[in-house]
Amino acid sequence: MSTEHARDPLHGVTLEALLNQLVDNYGWERLAKEVKINCFKSDPSIKSSLKFLRRTPWARTEVETLYLNMLEEKQERTSGGDDSPWANWQKKGR
């Protein structure tokens, strides 16, 4: 595997897996607000969304960007961030 692929969070993630994670994380209603496409608003399903996203590059790009933002948010929540007032509380007590 090249280092370029190792750094790309989309590498090896299928569109279906990406979409399932977004639906699990946000739900269809929030997805419809974030990415304004009918397949998220009107009778949403994975199958219809995949069909549309595979044919519509601009929509796929928006969904991939939302997925990357979701990953970044999750990373920030798990890392706690250095600016968190609780980040070093254990170290300070020693």
pLDDT digits (tens, 9 = 90+) for 24-71: 999 999 999 999 999 999 999 999 999 999 999 999 999 999 999 999
Number of structural domains found in the chain: 1
**Is residue 1 a part of any domain in this protein?**
no
Q: How far apart are CA 73 and CA 68, in angstroms?
A: 9
Give the separation between CA 76 and CA 88, rounded to whole angstroms. Answer: 15
**Residue 80 forms part of a structural domain:** no
- Between 94 and 76, whose confidence is greater? 76
Per the structure, the complete domain to which residue 40 belongs is given by 16-72
Q: Mean pLDDT, to the nearest integer, of 11-15? A: 92
Confidence at residue 8, expressed as pLDDT on a 0 to 100 scale:
82
Q: Using CA atoms, how far apart are residues 29 and 42, in angstroms rounded to an integer?
A: 10
pLDDT at position 4 is 60
With 0.85 as the threshold, say if the pTM is over it: no
CATH number for the domain harbouring residue 60: 1.10.720.30
For residue 41, being part of any structural domain is answered with: yes
